[in-house]
Amino acid sequence: MALTKISRSLLDTGISDSSDATAITINSSEQVGIGVSPSATLQLKAASGNTGLYLQDAAGSPNISWLDAGGTVQWQVYSTMGGANGLDPLVIYSSAGEVARIDTSGNIGIGTTTISSGTLGTSNKFLEVAAGTASGSGTLVLSRNTSTNNDEVGGIRYVNANNADDDGLDADGKMVAAISARAVTSDSNAGDDSGGVLTFSTKPEAGSFTERMRIDSSGNVGIGATSLTSSIGWTPKLVLDATSAAVVFKGINSQENAVGISNGLYLDSMGSTTGSYNNFYFRNTSTNSSFSASERMRVDASGYLYVGTISRIASGTVNVENVGVANCFTAQVSNNAYYNFAGNNSSGTTTFYVQGDGDYYFAGTSQSDRDLKENIQPINESSLAKVKLLQPKTFNFKESEGYATNTKTGFIAQEVAEIFGTETGVASGTDGKKDMGIDTTGIVAHLTKAIQEQQEQIEALQSEINTLKGE
């Protein structure tokens, strides 16, 4: 028979109730209910308000313990109640020792009896996970059982409770930053082999919460990019996606170096009051030795270009630019007596140069070795008749086309082409495209043959004269 009601007539038992309602019920299964019919070993319910269970210290440490069938404590939650104002950490023990604690400041420690909060700011709240052994590490594991691509497996949210909107990701949303790990699977994880991506999101002031960076399942990094692919053939390891973006490196003396994108690719080095700190250096080597690479090229802070040297021979600038109708390599000097282009032999002797005023010098000869040629044929047609058609002219090139305007003597390529054609290379190019030219060596060859033809005529006439004279 179960004891179903303890009323006022049993006050001397030490169990008190202020009404005629059932205070404690003990059923035939030896389950105890206080304010409720029990369905567990001990069940509590308040008639109104909150249900409370108080453990009050008399001498020792109040605790709740879990014992095995033999009566040995396996788990225990207790407080020594020895701290300030009677407070002390709430500690969770297993049979192997302390597992976790909540200190009197609300910090949580797992695997440690001392939560390292002092140097990190005593007004903050901390969760510390410690390995407890020299061979292990403190690890926080976030997990989920999912077979769906892009499902979140785990995440950390950063919330400013002072913002207005609990649920929204808009301008007044409470969530201001997050780190999220998401599943990657193309087959509903049929092979139990899903991967994962890691995303980082933030919310600017008065702006919307947005993903800013991700690390994909292959270890590639995207900043402002969710698709880490390239349309120009590369397999990218780092992708920056923005209409204007840069990677900035800050150095000493206020120096900043940057690789930037804004309607083109920019390499910037600026800000330092020491000019050499703003140089660009290009180095490489065939070895893996640290900092052993040789400098191959530099652009200094004044815009000078050095290739294969670290000292400037003569002041000037070198550019690749659009001149006329074509892109070309140009050199501009600060003095027309300086060389725009020059070449030295193995002994360092100058073998050719072109000066700023257009004067030039070549120590060698025009390459014409027979062993380098084929299809060698004599000129069988008359050159004299064609040479007679040549019209030597004086002229100057147009300043509007980027040329100097000094007077020159020579031929017009179109006129030469009308006489010799372009098939033999004496003239080349297409009229109207501003690309026609002449091969002076070819003209010299026809001039030589014309002289030979003329000499034959002279010798024939001389022979006729001698015959008439009877010689």
Tokens 């000078």 found at: 304
CA-wise closest residue to 155 among 215, 193, 199, 209 = 199
- Per-residue pLDDT at 249 exceeds 80: yes
Predicted local confidence at residue 1, as pLDDT: 41
Quick one: pLDDT band at residue 244, thresholds 50, 70, 90? confident
On whether the CB atoms of residues 139 and 126 are closer than 8 A, the answer is: no
Predicted local confidence at residue 179, as pLDDT: 97
Q: How many residues does the chain have?
A: 471
pLDDT tens, position by position, 344-402: 888 888 899 998 888 889 999 988 999 999 999 999 999 999 999 999 999 999 988 87
Q: Which residues of 91-114 are buried (b: 16+ CB within 10 A; e: fewer)?
A: bebeeeebebbebeeebbbbbbee
**Across the strands, what pairs with 350?**
344
Provide the 10 A C-beta neighbour count for residue 68: 10
Amino acid making up residue 168: G
pLDDT tens, position by position, 441-470: 999 999 999 999 999 999 999 999 999 998
% of the chain exceeding 70 in pLDDT: 86
pLDDT tens, position by position, 27-55: 888 899 888 888 999 998 887 777 778 87
Mean pLDDT of 252-281: 81
The C-alpha atoms of residue 315 and residue 98 are separated, in whole angstroms, by: 76
DSSP characters for 82-138? -SGGG---EEEEETTEEEEEE-TTS-EEES-SS---GGG-TTS--EEE--SSTT---
- Domains of the chain, by residue range, sit at 8-129, 152-241, 281-312, 317-364, 380-465
CA-wise closest residue to 397 among 409, 384, 406, 388 = 406
Mean pLDDT of 136-140: 90
Task: Classify strands 127-129 and 108-110 as parallel, antiparallel or unpaired.
Answer: parallel
Contacts made by residues 373-382, CB under 8 angstroms, sequence distance 24+:
379/445, 379/446, 379/449, 382/453
Mean pLDDT of 180-187: 96
pTM: 0.60
For domain 380-465, which architecture applies? Orthogonal Bundle (1.10)
